[in-house]
Structure 1
């Protein structure tokens, strides 16, 4: 989620930057004015929220989903006044199965919050320290004697992002079913020159999180899927959430197909289609390709997770409330979010968690799927949105665009 100049494999980075623009008022999602009427007057007085009007929020969601050209989407909003849900479109392009709240989808970089939580649990248990040097666990890491575990969590290690390499993007286009071992992913990142000295900058790098996943496996002597299941999914009752084996490119039933325009290599510099293709996409004469079964192992601990909208809402509420950490460490985690060194007031990033406006959470994007999850532990507001197109033809992250527009309406911009 934050600053990779539109590279699709750094899409979560680009999504956070887009969110920062929306939240700071520099740009606005298309139909954001549609939910402006503060019809929940009693609730507004009690919570300070501007609107929780279900009809207005659903109309806003529907209008933006239409504007962004997504085949399908879903939203879930919870406030002290209740829950508002909505679905849009179909699970398969030109198909007839409507999107449902039970559909599974790829959650992309929202997986990072899970990896980060496991690492913090290990910190809490005294099995690793935030101040530990990475070289203690991985002597092969350049500058590993200076990089701390905390800097991996906060994207301040300086390690290059393997997902922006031509090697990976070309492989994703030519070998979409390839099963990637996380060691292969890390090796690609470590082969690139560091982007800055440890602690001297900020760069959203998936190499950081994949390394953290490997370190967790090293300490636990278990595969990451089992660690997630035992430490996160089972304690929270997340029965529809999973972390697939590297050879598994399937999605549990029911699921939505995912779609993307162009190719990974062609969109390395920009997610926006060229003007002629954008015009064709807008007219409906250029259709996106189905990327549903692209093997997600290339994202590893940084983005290979699968969930549903209700499970993801439960997860982000647990993330923001500290259901899986002690109160002291949870408080420190929320306090760890800091503005990223780009010319925007939002978002902020911390220990495997982002803060977008008043919401703690993350965004996620893999080819074909975009999602946003956020929770405000003060006002008790939850917003989760997913779409089955990523990115939109005009380069915007659809779910993040919809979610932040809803957030502006709920909080009053």
Structure 2
């Protein structure tokens, strides 16, 4: 999701898209499309239903069946909306980012994979990162194991499953590349100063999810401590955090279900004597990203 939103913000900085564009010009049949903006897709205040469970069910039914982004959007659009008006609440939804990815393709007349290569992977030399839609990971790779599917044996290997989360989470990468991406994400690679700051300010109502980033703030000063994101697919998970005051980056990957939240916290606690000076906001450190 961080890659898709970064590309979207780059296009906004170039005047090819606006945070205030409503999605009815691309998806008029989605409920409340005339009220849902690109900003709401990015900070998950749109209220469009998440398709996480539906994606797992599709994976489990046939791990080699590739589902198109348009089909995923149709599935999400057919589910009940969140019980709030667009922009008035928060519902984390992969459908939002899949819609955003398709909008980026329509605006540029390029595939999302091409946009990734041209705007992020190539310039940042993330040579071991790709949009993995065919289930063909480049060796050497880590096998991923899932227990999500009741119809499959425990610890089923998912490393050769096709991935169809599209812009919402179908990237394959390495720990080295994820760390490099954490630096680029934190520094706002390719973004104008105003859009770097907008990522932190345009949160969902009263929350900590900005434009494609999760923001951790000091409760005493409201200064930003870190920004980053986590993600998971059956058998794999990842988490990257950029600490604003020091520029330190933590990157974690796992090859099992359940995300990396608990593992991430455990690592930080174990290394607290070393980590604390890096992540504690210093006097005069504030939320603006240079």
- TM-score class normalised by the smaller sequence: 0.7 to 0.9
1:335 paired residue number: 201
Taking only aligned residues, the RMSD between alpha carbons, in angstroms, comes to: 2.1
Alignment of 1:189 onto 2:54: no
How many angstroms does 1:185 deviate by?
Answer: 0.4
Alignment of 1:322 onto 2:211: no
Relative to the length of structure 2, the TM-score reads 0.86
Partners of 1:170 and 1:338 lie apart in 2 by: 29
How many angstroms does 1:330 deviate by?
Answer: 0.8
Deviations 1:8-49 (A, max 9, x none): xxxxxxxxxxxxxxxxxxxxxxxxxxxxxxxxxxxxxxxxxx
Unaligned runs of 5+ in 2: 218-224, 281-290
1:206 paired residue number: 94
How many angstroms does 1:340 deviate by?
Answer: 6.2
1:271 paired residue number: none
- The answer to whether the 8 A contact 2:230-2:239 is kept is yes
Larger Cα-atom Rg: 1
2:221 paired residue number: none
- The answer to whether the 8 A contact 1:169-1:264 is kept is no
Deviations 1:212-260 (A, max 9, x none): 000000011111000000011111111111113x4x1111111000001
How many angstroms does 1:169 deviate by?
Answer: 3.5
Q: Which of these residues, 144, 151, 157, is aligned with residue 290 of structure 1?
A: 157
- The equivalences for 1:352-367 within 5 A come to 352-356=212-216, 358-367=225-234
2:34 paired residue number: 145
Relative to the length of structure 1, the TM-score reads 0.61
2:276 paired residue number: 411
1:223 paired residue number: 111
Partners of 2:59 and 2:158 lie apart in 1 by: 10
1:340–1:240 Cα change, 3 Å? farther
Q: Which of these residues, 133, 142, 146, is aligned with residue 256 of structure 1?
A: 142
Alignment of 1:125 onto 2:14: yes
Partners of 1:265 and 1:303 lie apart in 2 by: 24
Q: Secondary structure at the match of 2:12?
A: helix
Partners of 2:151 and 2:19 lie apart in 1 by: 36
Q: Secondary structure at the match of 2:67?
A: coil
Q: Which of these residues, 25, 41, 58, is aligned with residue 136 of structure 1?
A: 25
1:6 paired residue number: none
1:19 paired residue number: none
1:375 paired residue number: 242
- The answer to whether the 8 A contact 1:339-1:349 is kept is no
Q: Secondary structure at the match of 1:349?
A: coil
- The equivalences for 1:150-161 within 5 A come to 150-161=39-50
- The answer to whether the 8 A contact 1:371-1:387 is kept is yes
Q: Secondary structure at the match of 1:235?
A: coil
Q: Secondary structure at the match of 1:390?
A: coil
1:326–1:218 Cα change, 3 Å? same
- The equivalences for 1:264-303 within 5 A come to 288-297=155-164, 299-303=165-169
Deviations 1:309-345 (A, max 9, x none): 111111111111122212221122133345766xxxx
How many angstroms does 1:366 deviate by?
Answer: 0.6
Partners of 1:252 and 1:337 lie apart in 2 by: 36
